[in-house]
Chain A
Amino acid sequence: MATAQGAALDRKKLMADPIMVTTIVVLITFLTLFILYPLAILLIDSLYGDGNGLSLSVFKRVLAMPTFTRAIGNTLKIGFVVGILSTLIGLLFAYVEVYVRMNRFAGGLFKLVSMLPVVSPPFVLSLSMIMLFGRSGLITRFLLGIYDNNVYGYWGIVIVQTLTFFPVCYMMLKGLLKNIDPSLEEAARDMGASRWKVFTDVTFPLMLPGLGNAFLVTFIESIADFANPMIIGGSYDTLATTIYLQITGAMDKVGAAAMAVVLLCITLAMFAVQKYYLESKTAATLTGKASRARMLIEDKSVTVPLTILCSLGALFVIVMYICVPIGALFPTWGYKFTPLTFKWFGQVFSKYKGLKAFRDSFVLSLIASPITALLSMIISYLVVKRKFKAKGFIEAVSMLAMAVPGTVLGVGYIRGFSGGLFRTGFLQGLYGTGAILIIVFVVRSLPTGTRSGISALRQIDKSIEESAYDMGADSFKVFMTVTLPLIKDSFLSGLVTAFVRSITAISAIILLVTPSYLLITVQINEFAEKGAFSIACAFATILILITYGSVLLMNLVMKFFGTSRKIKED
C-alpha cells in the first residue's frame, strides 16, 4: 500500500523544523560516539587484537586463564544470591509498608533506608562492614571477642551488596503492590481465603513478573558492581575487578577488552529478558489502578512482629551508614576510640589534597549534571512525543547504556579514545581531559534520567502539546514553553540524581582518571585498599554531606519553584 506519501510528508514536516533536525543529528552523533563506538571497539579489539586478523584467539586466551573463569563463576554466583536475597528483603519491606499499619517511627526508618543508598557513595557499606565485623571490628572484636573474623570474600560481598541493593527492590515492589486493586484481594477474602492464602493465591502471582524484574535489576547491578568487590572482596575476584586488574596490573588491554565483552554479554542478556519479557508482563498483570484505599492489617499479632523485624533490619542498615562518619572521628579505629577528633578531616585537606579532590569531583559533576538532565529530557521528549525514523535507535541506545557496566564502558573508552577514533589520532585530544570524565558521567547517568523523563512525559496528555503546536508554536517553542515547564519537577530531580550519581561514580572513572584530576571516590577507594579506613571515612563523610546537601537543596527548590502546586491539586 502507498504509505510512502505519508512517510515522505512526515519527513518533510520534520525537515521544516531545523532545530529539531539539528537536535536529532547531535543526539545520534553523541550516542554513537560515546556509547556504541566504545562498545564496538571492544568487540573489534577482542576479535582482531592479536594481530592475526579475525579470530577468537583472544577469547581462547582469556578463557584459559583460571582467574578469569573463576571470576565468571564467582560473579554469577554472587549476582544470583544477592538478587534473591535483595528481592525477598525488598518484598518484606514493601509488603509491610503497603499492607500493615505502622507507627510513625517505623515509617520514618523505612523512608531513611530507601534514601540512604541513593545519596551514598557505592562502597560505604563495605567500609563499615570491615570496621564493624572485620578483624579489628567494633562488634566482632570488642563486643564478641572474636579476633580472627574474616569479612573479606564471598560473604562480605553478598552481605554488603544485599544491604546496598535491597532498598531498590523495596521501592520497585512498593510501587507494584500499591497498584494492585484491593478489591481483588477483598474478593478472595470474601470467598473465604485466609490472609496467607490471599497472599499466595492472589497477591504473589500478580507480583511474580515484578519480582522477576526486581531480581534481574539487582542481578545486573550486582555483577556490574566494582567498588564493593574491590574493597571487601579480598582475593575473591569478580568480573569487574578482574577486568580492572587485567588493565592496571597485567597491562593486558586486549585481554581486558575480551573480558569486558564477556561481562557485557551477560548483562545484555539479563537486560533483554528484563526489558522485553518481564516489563511487559508486569504491565499486563497490573494495569488496574487501586480504586480505593486498602484496608490495612491492624491485627497486633501480625503487625507487631513484622514491624519489629523490619525496624531492626532498617536500624541495622542505618547503623552501617552512620558507622562511616563516626569512624572518621575516632583517633585510631580498632585501638583508640577516645577522645573523638577531627584530625582525619584535617588531614584530608592538609595532607591528602582533599580540597583539590572535592573541587575536581564537584566541578566535573556540576558541569555534567545539567547536560545529563537536559539531554535525558530531550531524549524522553523525542521518544514519547515525536515520531521519526531514528527514534528507535535513540531509544534503544540510551536504554542500552543502562545494561553496560561501568567497567566495560571504562575499558571501551581507553581502547576507543586513547589513540583517537579507530586509533587514527582523531579526537585523541579528548583522552585524559576533564571533558572525557564529564562525558562518562553523562553517559552513566543518562539511562536513569531518560527513564524518569519518559515516565513523567507519559503523564502529560499528548493533546496539550498538540494544542500549542496547532496554535502556531514550532517544536522548540513547544518544548520550551509547554513540555519543560510541565516536567520541571522531573527535570530538577534528574539534575540532582545526575549530580549525585556523578560525584559518587567510580567504576568507569577509575580507569580513565589521570593524575591531573583527583576524584573523591577514587581517593576513598585508594585509602580503603591501603587500610587507611579513618581517612577513607573522612573523605566519604564529606562526600555524603555534599550529596545529602544537594538533595535537600533540591527539595527546597522544588517546594518554592517547582511545578505550581495549583496544577498538582488537580
Chain B
Amino acid sequence: MAKEKKGVRLEHISKIYQDPKTHKDFYAVHDTSLEIEPGSFVTLLGPSGCGKTTTLRMIAGFESPDEGEIYLGGEPINALTPNKRDTAMVFQSYALLPHYNIFDNVAYGLKLRKMDKDTIRTKVLDILKLVGLEGMEARMTNQLSGGQQQRVALARALVLEPGVLLFDEPLSNLDAKLRVSMRTEIRRIQQEAGITAIYVTHDQSEAMALSDKIIIMEKGVVSQMGSPQEIYYHPKNEFVADFIGDANFLKGKMLRHEGGDGIVAINGTEVRVATADNVADGAETTVVLRPESTVLGDQGYFPVKVIVSSFMGAYQLYHVMLGDTKLIIHEYNPKGKKIYAMGETAYINFEPGNAHCI
C-alpha cells in the first residue's frame, strides 16, 4: 500500500535538554546511530526518560537534533518541518481532532494534499475497513472506545501512505486485554500495508510480540539492538537482561573454556555455560539465568532455601536464596512435579544452553 517503503538512518544523533530545576544541560539522546531497514518493524524500548520518545520526535521533526543528521529514504531531513516529512505518527493520547467526526479525522491529511473528493472518500472508507471501523465514519471521536480511537489514529496515519509510520506508546492508555489484541492487530496491519514502522514503548512484551528488531535504550544511549530472540537469550548486560523479562544473576569467575562451553566457578561449584566466548579465562563474570529455564530438584549445582512458593496456575513460582542472592524460578506445568514448601532446601539445576555469561 505504501507508495515507497523508506528506511531511516540516524547518524550520531544527540539531543540536549536543560534540566528545569538545576538549569544544567544534559543529553536526552547521546551519539545514537541507527539503521532501520525499509519495511521492517522496529521498536525503541526502554524505561521512561531513556530518550526513546525524544528519538521518535526527532524523526517526526517535532524536536531538532543538536548533533548529527537524520536520513529518511536516503535524504537528509534535519531541516524539514514535520508537515514536510514523509512520516505519520500515532500518538499516545491518540490526538484525534475532537471537533471532527471519524471520516473527517481520517480525511484531514488527504484534504491537505488537495486530493479530489471521490478519491478521498474511497481511500478513507478503504482504510477504515482495514482497521475494522466500517460504518463508523459519522461518529464523533468521543463516541468511541479507547481501542476504537486508537484504530482511527492508526487509520489516519496509514491513509497518508507515509514512508515511515511512527508509534509513540500507542497502547499505553488501553486496558491489558485490549492491549494484547491491539498489538496483534497493529502487526497484521503493518505487514499487510508493508510499511516501515518505528514503535516506542516501555512494555517489553509488546516489543517482543511486535518487532522484527528491538532497540533497547538506557539514559540516552543504545544498549543493545537485535531480534527479540537475540535480546532475550543473549542480553549484553544486566540492564538489558533485567529489562527484558525476569533474570537471575549469579556472580562467578570464568575458569576455562571446554568444547565451546565455559566453566564458571560460582560459590565454589563449577557450572557449565554454553555462551561464554565473550569472557576470557580468569575474568570475573555474571551468569544470566532465566527463571523458566532454572529448575529445582533434590540434587543439583547448589542448595538453596525456598522463601516463597506460590501456585500461579501455569507455573509454580519460587523465590529462593542462594547465600545473599535472591533467585526467581518459574517451574512450568507444575502438576505432578515435586513442590517445595517455604523453608525447605532444594537444589538448583539448569542446562548449559540456557545460561550465558555477560
The interface of chain A, by Cβ under 8 A from chain B, is 1-7, 9-10, 12-13, 16-17, 461, 463-464, 466-474, 477, 481-482, 485-486, 563-564, 566-567, 569-570
On whether the beta carbons of B97 and A464 are closer than 8 Å, the reply is yes
Shortest Cβ distance from residue B252 to the other chain A in the assembled complex, whole angstroms: 41
Q: A464-B96, A472-B112, A472-B113 are in contact. List 16 more A-B contacts (CB 8 A).
A: A3-B66, A6-B65, A464-B98, A466-B89, A467-B96, A467-B97, A469-B83, A470-B60, A470-B61, A470-B87, A471-B108, A471-B109, A471-B160, A564-B99, A566-B140, A569-B142
Give the nearest-CB partner of B65 in chain A. A6
Which 9 residue pairs are nearest across A and B when measured between Cβ atoms?
A: A471-B109, A9-B64, A6-B66, A467-B95, A463-B95, A570-B142, A463-B91, A472-B112, A6-B64
Shortest Cβ distance from residue B177 to the other chain A in the assembled complex, whole angstroms: 23
Given the complex of chains A and B, what is the CA–CA distance between A567 and B141 in angstroms?
A: 8
For chain B, residues 83 to 104, give those with C-beta under 8 angstroms from any C-beta of chain A: 83-84, 87-89, 91-93, 95-99
Give every chain B residue within 8 A of A1 (Cβ-Cβ): 16, 25, 27, 66
Decide if B356 is an interface residue (CB 8 Å cutoff): no
Decide if B37 is an interface residue (CB 8 Å cutoff): no
**Band of interface residues on B:** 35 or more
The listed residue with most A CB atoms (<10 A of its CB), out of B88, B93, B97, B113, is: B97
For chain B, residues 302 to 317, give those with C-beta under 8 angstroms from any C-beta of chain A: none
Give every chain B residue within 8 A of A5 (Cβ-Cβ): 64-67
On whether the beta carbons of A16 and B16 are closer than 8 Å, the reply is no
Give every chain A residue within 8 A of B95 (Cβ-Cβ): 461, 463-464, 466-467
On whether the beta carbons of A485 and B99 are closer than 8 Å, the reply is yes
Give every chain A residue within 8 A of B98 (Cβ-Cβ): 464, 486, 567, 570
Give every chain B residue within 8 A of A473 (Cβ-Cβ): 83, 108, 112
On whether the beta carbons of B15 and A6 are closer than 8 Å, the reply is yes
Contact of B160 among A3, A16, A472 (CB under 8 A): A472
On whether the beta carbons of A13 and B81 are closer than 8 Å, the reply is yes
Given the complex of chains A and B, what is the CA–CA distance between A467 and B170 in angstroms?
A: 13
On whether the beta carbons of A471 and B16 are closer than 8 Å, the reply is no
Give every chain A residue within 8 A of B78 (Cβ-Cβ): 9
Give every chain A residue within 8 A of B143 (Cβ-Cβ): 566
Decide if B150 is an interface residue (CB 8 Å cutoff): no
Sampled A-B contacts (13; CB under 8 Å) = A1-B66, A2-B14, A2-B16, A6-B16, A13-B64, A463-B93, A469-B82, A474-B81, A486-B98, A567-B140, A567-B142, A570-B98, A570-B142
On whether the beta carbons of A3 and B25 are closer than 8 Å, the reply is yes
Shortest Cβ distance from residue B269 to the other chain A in the assembled complex, whole angstroms: 49
Contact of B99 among A12, A16, A563 (CB under 8 A): A563
For chain B, residues 48 to 64, give those with C-beta under 8 angstroms from any C-beta of chain A: 60-64
Shortest Cβ distance from residue B113 to the other chain A in the assembled complex, whole angstroms: 6
Given the complex of chains A and B, what is the CA–CA distance between A6 and B15 in angstroms?
A: 8
Given the complex of chains A and B, what is the CA–CA distance between A6 and B78 in angstroms?
A: 9
On whether the beta carbons of A486 and B99 are closer than 8 Å, the reply is yes
The listed residue with most B CB atoms (<10 A of its CB), out of A17, A467, A469, is: A467
On whether the beta carbons of A461 and B109 are closer than 8 Å, the reply is no
Shortest Cβ distance from residue A132 to the other chain B in the assembled complex, whole angstroms: 50
